[in-house]
Amino acid sequence: MAKEHLMNTYERFDVIFERGAGSWLYDTEGRKYLDFVAGIAVNCLGHSHPAVVHAISEQSKKLMHISNLYWNEPQLLLAEKLVSYSDHQKVFFVNSGAEAVETALKLARKYGKIQGGEKKNRILYMKNSFHGRTLGALAVTGQEKYQKDFMPLMGEVEAVSFNDIEDLREKANQNVCAMIVEPIQGESGIIPAQQSFLQEMRKLCDQLDALLIFDEIQCGIGRTGKLFAYQSFGIIPDVICMAKGLGGGFPIGAILVKDEAAAAFSPGDHGSTFGGNPLACAAACAVLDELMEKKVIEDVKEKSEYLMERLEELQKKYPAIQQIRGIGLMIGLCFDREVKEIVKKCFEKGLLVIGAGANVIRLVPALNIEKKEIDQGIKILQDVLESTFA
């Protein structure tokens, strides 16, 4: 039925999931799986967290959508929370990561035009980056495999080698209106930016009056052990793109912006019909309350260390694991070969993991995963490595 009715865009596992609870998923055959994917870093509180379920069900009885012609309380509350937890002052709500990136790119173009005229329109992005599938976001996604069949893409963009300060300096000129970077590259293999590189980006953006855009869509919302990834690096961007974890499984995205940058937009410049609707915002408010007030975030560091130690034990046994990298609960296991088979074998044994690039296994479990569950996951991974490498 799926082949008949659904467009053929995803490579999927042969499973239909029916329900989930915490870090566990259950398929239609009654099998259960331990979930180290969490909807690709989305279900930060696990599946069907009671606080999120409660918020969605209560809000859905009151008001789901009204359009941005009017105000709604959950949107105001969520904006206030995001501002209070950050160094930023203004929010624009959208529905997905790519849409957050599009918003940031449009803001950068308008900001550049105001600051430096028509020519100040150039956007620097990183090689091996990932920013989403829409044509604008794709134009700054530095991976040929995603771009090649969709040319021509948006112009006046240029790729910089990630973590290469010299290359960055060479390409930064007066025509640059923005630079966009993932503080930790997700899709291409869990590669953290060097702090010195981000510092240089900040310095150059200040000199050139360009916007520094952090795409925290994957690495934000608690993944690094701080609510925002920039807080783990100590460099404040002008614009933060977020989505994935923000709604804990409900679709919502946002950009969080410094006042000076936000001032570039005036009424009519941008919009989104569903953006900031009360239902999505109520879900996100519940997520932030759990992470911050109920302090789920405070345990991320300890869980990360625990998981890292278990992984290092595996690395000692299996030298095919060349490197373990990442921050918080965004971890990459780099192998000396392609990981597709390992991912498949884990699935067969009831552990969900996802690749990042060809040689990296990405671990992005729910932030409230229990140590016991980490042990269970490691056990399965070890069985798989044993059967693969022994």
Ligand X SMILES: *Cc1c(COP(=O)(O)O)cnc(C)c1O
Contact with ligand X (CB under 6 A) among 121, 218, 231, 368: 218
- Rounded Cα–Cα distance for residues 82 and 228 (Å): 10
Residue nearest to ligand X (CB): 97
The amino acid occupying position 88 is H
Which is nearer to ligand X, 96 or 175 (by Cβ)?
A: 96
Phi/psi region, residue 365 (left: phi>0; alpha: psi -120 to 50; beta: rest), is beta
Considering only 58-66, 127-135, 154-162, 165-173, which stretch makes contact with ligand X by CB under 6 A? 127-135
CB of 389 to ligand X, least distance (A): 30
Contact with ligand X (CB under 6 A) among 104, 217, 227, 354: 217
- Asked if 174 and 207 touch (Cβ cutoff 8 Å), the reply is no
CB of 182 to ligand X, least distance (A): 5
Contact with ligand X (CB under 6 A) among 186, 222, 225, 276: 186
Which residues are CB-contacts of 234 (< 8 A; sequence separation ≥ 6)? 195
Q: Is 182 in the site for ligand X (CB under 6 A)?
A: yes
CB of 115 to ligand X, least distance (A): 26
Angle between helix 340-348 and 371-389 (nearest 10): 120
Which is nearer to ligand X, 180 or 205 (by Cβ)?
A: 180
Closest CA to 36 of 381, 283, 388, 384: 381
Q: Is 228 in the site for ligand X (CB under 6 A)?
A: no
Which is nearer to ligand X, 219 or 333 (by Cβ)?
A: 219
Q: Is 215 in the site for ligand X (CB under 6 A)?
A: yes
CA-angle at 209, arms to 206 and 212, nearest 5°: 65
> How many other C-beta atoms can be found within 10 angstroms of the C-beta atom of residue 305?
12
> How many other C-beta atoms can be found within 10 angstroms of the C-beta atom of residue 215?
33
Considering only 1-9, 91-99, 225-233, 342-350, which stretch makes contact with ligand X by CB under 6 A? 91-99
Q: Which residues bind ligand X (CB under 6 A)?
A: 96-98, 101, 130-132, 182, 186-187, 215, 217-218, 243-244
